[in-house]
A and B are shown apart, each in its own frame.
Chain A
């Protein structure tokens, strides 16, 4: 995307200005979005995003700049401004003349789309969306269906003064269907939104009619659901997007961004037992076509599979370059950012609880009264205190070991480390689901996943 000579000149100039390491990140996006409401195209947009971020390290101090004027004059001027911003730095050896010796790594196309971004016209997309809408019509109470189709293609170049040169092309596609059901009791929603690192062949994995049907069924379930009960009780969490609880309650606490500053309750706990032994927790950036997969992280390091917790024992954190400098832990290819407007920080990729051995039915046995959180919405955590919350999108009461009437509006709250200790059984039916995760370096695609599992006690917020 940029000439090697220019990249080299920018990095050398930064080194000559005293930076120990200089990193240039360049990207170009093409995006398309379609919003269709009850058969009508409400909004259709297309866009190009284009820019660069330059990061300089002075020990563990960082200066960062970004711009979307990528002319040579502008980039060199930006470098100069950045060096001056740091101020006191002295002149050091620029490491020779005539350019850097880049080790060029080009993506192997592990997540390459079968249907390229430019293939198929917009009518084709619209037809598939209409199939989803038709699928959602599961009852006369379904009053509206809204579908959002989002597609993007991101070309990335990361180069640094240590000779890293990585180029990646990331294509992602997601269809997000919201069904709205209404009767005299009110309005309720059902939401299903599969997404993967691939092109429109997403629809072969997830037929649109089936996505629509699921959203419609969930809206109907919520319409007949009573308000959730309130209080502390055992909870069985469904597989797939249910894993969002551990994304919030555990994953964020294992990112070096908070671990390095001892701002996580799980800082300095490597080798310690931090969870119940039935818990093995993995962050895998290599899953083929995973929503959170990419061949290189946004610091140019190859993605890897990182075992975070094995049978309850903390094995690794998620480590980016700055996190590694601050803690001494080995980088895990976890440096990610939303786009050039953010410097990277340590972030999750595809994170899941590994399958256990308890048959799913056994999880419900012996629960006198509890909640089955069949499908989850999003959540939030404060890593410093471990306090987290997350919303139940589809829930049912468990009574005498049986799944009974649906309930809506449940919110689960707790403190991460306590909840992890209270996982008493994990089933064998692992599934993954896509989500967007917001943190210091922006909003990123991540997968969360888990098998069905049982937490012995958790606070359920509903109607008292």
Chain B
């Protein structure tokens, strides 16, 4: 059975059973080429897909999914979803009405280069690193691409599909100087294979990791912090989004609950999500329920303007749906950002403090419910307006909302980071944070 046949089978069966159903199918093609020691060491080619349903029975919502597209598996999916719905205590569930959303292609010919060019890109990136004698080991170098076709349909009339994808260059390597060892990584991500440049990524790695060699311990204390875009993007993706999700607000888990219209950040801080950006890696024509994509300003000059909603949270809170519904075929309805970014500012003057270049341990050291974080960081000490020396073996700690309130300057250039969602940020200066070291 094809994905379309499976979708139609499920919708017809649901109608016959008198159940409201929404079907989301995704189909992905992936290619990964890994280079090592000047040779291609591993190639992975893949096709994968699955189909998930959300059903509403007597105002209760249930979910199930399958990767096996046989009538038996699809029947099991409907039966389990039905049972799962009846188990729910909450009523008031519904599927939004909708119409034809069209077929969209956001990827075009972006990945159509010959295999040989892609193989060469991975080899060139590795060679670019090895040209520097301080590179002791290149652990991993990879070219990878992915294209996804998503199809949405429901018994309420929603019908649409879109295709998207990306090409990625990624490397992780170890640099050494004397007894100092640093393991770093670098990547470049684009919708166009031709926009990637292995030489540029290699130089970025050598620059970003090389500057940390010879790091010294940091003395425990309170310092001004300069978050580089990558590091701030990680923190924002982990903590910021959690607080803005209306689902978390409704479940009493967000510290921003009850603060609508109030000041929640420094007045120079504006946070935007825009799924319509022409080059945005997470751009999409509509969300997981078929709501059309539009730009949303969550925080404007420090004031909280809206939470992120899907149809369910918007109805419960009696506000406008921002079109942030997310669902994978395996998952349940949630809210997720697309291209989330901090509006750039007037520039940062580095005088005294710590540049934070990267953060580690976010999944364990950042608690979005309490807003508190204590994270291993990598970075550099700034003294008298100059970068003095790299520092290591330290943590940075604080409360995320206090951090937002204490932002004192923002850089002029936006950089995108795909590590925790697609998050863009300029350099962010924070008045003072706690650092623990020797």
Contact = CB atoms under 8 A, between A and B. Distances in A.
B370 A45 contact: no
B87 A122 contact: yes
Contacts of A37: 251
5 contacts: A45-B62, A180-B252, A228-B374, A391-B364, A464-B436
Interface in A406-442: 408-411, 413-415
B332 A45 contact: yes
A115 interface: no
B376 A411 contact: yes
A387 B45 contact: no
A188 interface: yes
Contact of B65 (A34, A48, A51, A63): A48
A391 B365 contact: yes
Contacts of B222: 464
B45 A81 contact: yes
Interface in B154-174: 173-174
Contacts of A123: 87
A258 interface: yes
A410 B45 contact: no
B394 A461 contact: yes
A49 B397 contact: no
B81 interface: yes
For the complex of A and B, 5 pairs with smallest distance between CB atoms: A461-B395, A230-B436, A384-B183, A389-B376, A44-B84
B83 interface: yes
B402 to A, nearest CB: 11
A258 B139 contact: yes
A262 interface: yes
A7 B315 CA distance: 52
A47 B330 contact: yes
Contacts of A104: none
Interface string A171-188: 000000000100000111
Interface string B178-189: 000111000000
The B interface is mostly helix, strand or loop, or mixed, namely strand
B393 A415 contact: yes
A253 to B, nearest CB: 12
A460 interface: yes
Interface residues of B, number: 76
A82 B397 CA distance: 49
Interface stretch (B47-55, B120-128, B274-282, B289-297): B47-55
Given A62-B42, A409-B372, A44 B397 contact: no
Contacts of A228: 374
Contacts of A463: 397, 434
Contact of B375 (A41, A64, A261, A389): A389
A338 interface: no
Given A377-B364, A387-B376, A411-B374, A48 B68 contact: yes
B90 A66 contact: no
A67 B47 contact: yes
A199 B233 CA distance: 40
B32 to A, nearest CB: 8
A64 B376 contact: no
A91 interface: no
B65 A387 contact: no
B66 interface: yes
B85 A44 contact: yes
Interface stretch (B72-80, B98-106, B415-423): B72-80
B372 A380 contact: no
Interface string A6-35: 000000000000000000000010000010
B252 A459 contact: no
A200 B252 CA distance: 30
Given A46-B81, A189-B369, A86 B43 contact: yes
Contacts of A374: none
A341 B367 CA distance: 30
A385 B183 contact: yes
B40 interface: yes
A45 B87 contact: no
A388 B183 CA distance: 12
Given A230-B220, A384-B174, A385-B174, 6 more contacts: A45-B331, A66-B47, A391-B374, A415-B393, A461-B436, A464-B221
B44 interface: yes
Interface in A230-269: 230-232, 258, 261-263, 265
Contacts of B364: 377-380, 389-391, 411
A382 interface: yes
Interface in B183-197: 183
